[in-house]
Amino acid sequence: MLTGVLLTLIAAFSFLLVLSFLVFFHELGHYSVARFFGIAVDRFSVGFGKPIWRRTSKAGVEWVISRIPLGGYVKFSGDAGAASNPDVEKLAEIRAAYEADPTGPNIDDVFHFRPVWQRALVVLAGPVANFILAIILFAGIGMSVGVEFSTPQVVTVQPNTAAAEAGFLDGDNIVELDGKRMRGVGQVSQYIRLRSGTKIEALVQRGSEEILLTVTPKRTEIRDEIGGLSKVGLAGFTLTKGKANVESIQGPIGALEYGVSQTGEILSSTGTYLGRIFTRKEDGKQLGSVVKIATVTGKVAIDTATADAPLSDRIRAWALRMTFLAASISIALGVANLMPLPVLDGGHLVYYGYEAVVGRPLSQEKQEFGFKIGFAVLLTLFVVLTINDFGYVMSMRS
């Protein structure tokens, strides 16, 4: 039997492995495009705080692993810090040194002196890398375990539920929801959960005929797969894999298509949920930050480690589940970094968009003010999400 200390170590290792890997890949996106354009990079850091390991490459880049493994950054020459806001004094020194000796420092190597389209591509490369990584990871899952799709079939319709009111019957095959073809039980469940109180047009196949039903999921508190409480939309039926329209992944191309499809589904679901928050149809309690990521990752790792199965099977299950979590979190990381806050990639893109339209960058004073506001908003958001996280963790014990 595994001890509590060992289980804690497994949970911590799983969390740090997943988060560090995702951060590394995100920053690698920035770094790779920057180096493609020949932009000088001072430091590539995984984590923040005092370095515990460092190495300087032949290109002059300092590669660092720092003590606090909850993030990371690429620091370009002329940056004031990890947020890549320009250091005015440093940039002035670089320009002055170049003007004094044009054969010395190469001003064209400095990120902040590059054309706006190059800077925008470097910044955009981080979130895009997260989406690409998710596609690769999902494709890997598809190749390793295989995935089969089929039209979901209703097994049981509970009485006095939205599904019963809508006229669903046992044995109905759910072909489409709001005109979108359904290819699996999970897809139907996720679609319905995100639409409590919203009418859904369901096309079902009943025997040889197709019938259009309208169902409005009811907001219900449930325990998710991890054991935490959350409020979602439920129709009131149970589903199983049907025997109609069966498809399976075929080869690397099919796996890649699956990766793209899964990533697109999660992006669409994320957009739907965020949209419902802004229209006050959701309270945002399902949004979380580092604490929730650590909780979910750790819980999945512990459940896998304590499963009643041979060690080899548990290791394989752990690898698959961590891969799935990493892909899902990678998408969330990419979306979060595209928020239009100046300290994030999305904020930099807003600044560059202004520069591209107006023909000149925003004044340094306004940029610095924007960074301060962005940092304050980000800090407030972090506090709110952390409160959500602890509420979720406490619900697991209730």
Q: From CA 267, how far away is CA 334, in angstroms rounded?
A: 10
Token pair recorded at residue 211: 């019938």
Q: What CA–CA distances, in Å, run from 393 to 217, 224, 354?
A: 26, 12, 42
- The answer to whether the beta carbons of residues 143 and 255 sit under 8 Å apart is yes
Chain mean position to CA 220: 25
Q: What CA–CA distances, in Å, run from 186 to 15, 234, 237, 282, 297?
A: 25, 13, 13, 21, 20
Q: Is 212 exposed, middle or buried (0-12, 13-18, 19+ CB in 10 A)?
A: exposed
Q: How many CB atoms lie within 10 A of CB 368?
A: 16
Beta bridge partners of 66: 51
* Catalytic-role residue among 27, 148, 282, 368: 27
Chain mean position to CA 383: 19
Tell me, yes or no, if 27 is annotated catalytic. Answer: yes
- The answer to whether the beta carbons of residues 333 and 71 sit under 8 Å apart is no
What is the three-state SS of 88-140? HHHHHHHHHHHHHCCCCCCHHHCHHHCCHHHHHHHHHHHHHHHHHHHHHHHHH
Instruction: Return the active site residues.
Output: 27
